[in-house]
Amino acid sequence: MNQGQLMERLTQFNPWWAGAGWERTDPDLESLVGAPFRYEPAPLHDISPDGLYLLRGPRRVGKSVEVKRAISRLIATGVNPRSIIHFACNGLSMAEIQNLVRAAERLLRQLDSPRYWFFDEITAAKPEWTDAVAALRDTNSSFKRDCVVLTGSSTRNLDVAVKALADRRGQRILGDDRVLLPMGFRSFCRLVEPERDFPGFEPLPPREFAKTSWRTLAYELVPFLDDLVGLWELYLTVGGFPRAVWDYLVDGRVNPNFVQGLWQVVYGEALRVKSYPALQIQRMLSELAARLTAPTNFTQLAEDCGFADHSVATDRCDDLVAAYMLWPCYKIGPANLPRLNAQRKFYFYDPLLARLANLLDERNRAPGFDALSEQQLGLLLLKASESEPVAPFVDYSKLMFMTTPSRSEIDFVGPAIEPAVFESKYIDSKKTAATATITAQKLPGIMASRAYFDPEASVPWLPTALLAWMIERS
C-alpha cells in the first residue's frame, strides 16, 4: 500500500478520531451488545507510555475485542483520541509498517504527550515486521517513547520478536508479555451460574498443596461439591472460548458455525504452511485427542494420519503449539530439566479444541471426561504457577510428567509446582494402588478425582473441580 492508501485505511480503522460514540458501530464491540454476560479479562489494563507489549493468544479468543476495550478505557481516562492509532497488519511488509507510522504522524497533529500504537495481528504481517518495529524504536524519537502493543496468534514469530526487541521494550515492562487464553473455570462458573454465591477466597499457588493448610479451603468448598463437579463437566464440554459460552447460555449448545470457525483456524491458518487434505488434518486432531494422556509416538502418529514420515507429524504438532492449539508436556529429567529427546505429551488448550474432530465428524473419536480433566488440570497448574499469567507460555519446561524406574507415571511435576505433584484419576472411589507411585517416590502429592473427597488420606484425594476452584486465578 502507498502512503495515500495507508492514510485512507488509518481513518477507517480509527473512528475515535472523529468523535465520541464510535463504540456503538465498531465491528468488534457492537456484537457484544446482545451478549448474555459481561466477560472482560482486560490483559491490557495497565499499559503505559514507553512500554512495548506483546499480546499473544489463539484466534477467536477475543484479542481484537480487548484491544478495542483498552482504547475505550484510555479515552475515558482522558487520553487524547488522536494519540491512539490502531491498524490491522495482515500482510504488511517492513516498508509498509514504517510508512504506516509516517502516514499516521502526518495525519495527526504533533502532540506533547506520547501516542498509543496498536498493531493488531502483527504476526500475520511479512516476516520482517520485527525489523520494522525495531528500526522505528531506534530511529524515531517519538515512537521510542510511545506505548506500542503488538498482538499475534503465533508464538513462533513472537518468540523471535522477544529477542529482537529485547532492548527496545521500555524500562517499566521489560519482558512483560501478555497471554489471552480461553476463560478459566472460575470465570466459567460465574457466567453460567451468576446467582450462585461460590466462595471467593484468593487462589492458592499449586506448591502450597505440599503443606496442610489447603485443607481448610477444601472443607469450605464441600457444600458446593455437587454443583462444582457438574460445572466442571459442563466446562469440559463447552470449553472457555467466550463465543462458545455465549452459545451455550443462549441455545444450550455450542453453535456449529463457531465449531466451523475453529476448524478454519486450525486448517486454514494454524497449518497454512503446508497443504493437506481436510480429512487428513481432522484425523490428526482425532488421533491427538485419543492420545491426550500418553506420550506421543510420532512414527505411529504419522502412520495413522498418512503422513510421509515422523518428521511431518512432528512439524504439524509444532505448528499447532505455535498457534496456541496444543501445549507440550515434557518428560522430566535430571536437574528438573525436560528430556528433549523423549516422547512428549500433547494437550489442547481448550476442551472444544480436543473435541473438534468429533464435532466435525462423529466417526472421529472424542476424548472422555477423564482425559479432558487431566488436560485442563495441567493447564490450570501451568497458568497458576507464576505471579503473572504470562511466563509459563514461554517456557513449557516448568510443568512436566515423571516416569519412575518401574515405568509408573506421575502426571504433573516440575519447578512450577514443586515440591507438590499431581495425579489425575477421574474416578469416584479411593484406589490405594493409584497412589502407590506417589508414595514410593516419597513426594507430597494430590490425587485429582471426579467427586471422591478424602483430604486426610496419606495421599489426599480431592475432586478436580474443587482443586480447580482453589487454584484458578481467572
What structural domains does the chain harbor? 3-179 (3.40.50), 186-471 (no CATH)
Residue 451 · residue 463 · CB < 8 Å: yes
Quick one: pLDDT band at residue 134, thresholds 50, 70, 90?
confident
* pLDDT bucket at 124, cuts 50 / 70 / 90: confident
pLDDT at 301 over 80: yes
| CA separation for the pair 117, 83 (Å, rounded) | 8
3-state secondary structure of 401: strand
The Cα 355–Cα 244 span in angstroms is 13
Query: Are residues 269 and 153 in contact, defined by beta-carbon separation less than 8 angstroms?
Result: yes
Q: Which range in 58-62, 100-104, 233-237 is most confidently predicted, on average pLDDT?
A: 233-237
Give the phi and the psi of residue 174 in degrees, each rounded to 5.
-50, 120
Per-residue DSSP letter, 454 = B
Task: Say if residue 392's pLDDT is above 50.
Answer: no
Mean pLDDT for the stretch of residues 84-93 = 91
Cα torsion through 145, 146, 147, 148, rounded to 10: -110
What is the band of 268 on the pLDDT scale with cuts at 50, 70, 90?
A: confident
- Amino acid type, 144: K
Task: Determine the number of helices (DSSP H) and then strands (DSSP E) in the chain.
Answer: 19, 12
Mean pLDDT, residues 135-142? 89
Q: Could you count the other beta carbons within 10 Å of the beta carbon of residue 27? A: 8
- Predicted pLDDT at 175: 47
pTM of the model: 0.92
Structure confidence at residue 385 as a pLDDT band (50, 70, 90): low
* AA identity, residue 253: R
User: Which of 23-27, 106-110, 377-381, 401-405 is predicted least confidently?
Assistant: 106-110
d(CA 474, CA 471): 9
Do residues 119 and 149 lie in contact, with contact meaning Cβ atoms separated by under 8 Å?
yes
As a whole number of angstroms, the distance between CA 155 and CA 473 comes to 23
Could you tell me whether strands 52-56 and 177-179 are parallel, antiparallel, or unpaired per DSSP bridges?
parallel
Taking the C-alpha atoms of residue 450 and residue 229, their distance in angstroms, rounded to an integer, is: 7
Q: How confident is the model at residue 169 (pLDDT cuts 50, 70, 90)?
A: low
For range 160-171, the mean pLDDT: 60
* pLDDT single digits (tens) 30-40: 888 888 989 99
- pLDDT reading at 370 higher than 80: yes
Give the residue-averaged pLDDT of 63-78. 95
pLDDT in tens, 94-120: 999 999 999 999 998 777 789 999 999
Helix (H, G, I), strand (E, B) or coil at 314: helix
Question: Is the pLDDT reported for residue 46 higher than 50?
Answer: yes
Q: With bands split at pLDDT 50, 70 and 90, how would you rate the model's confidence at 8?
A: very high
Residue 171 has pLDDT above 90, yes or no: no
Cell numbers given for 300: 505411529
Tell me the average pLDDT across 162-168.
61
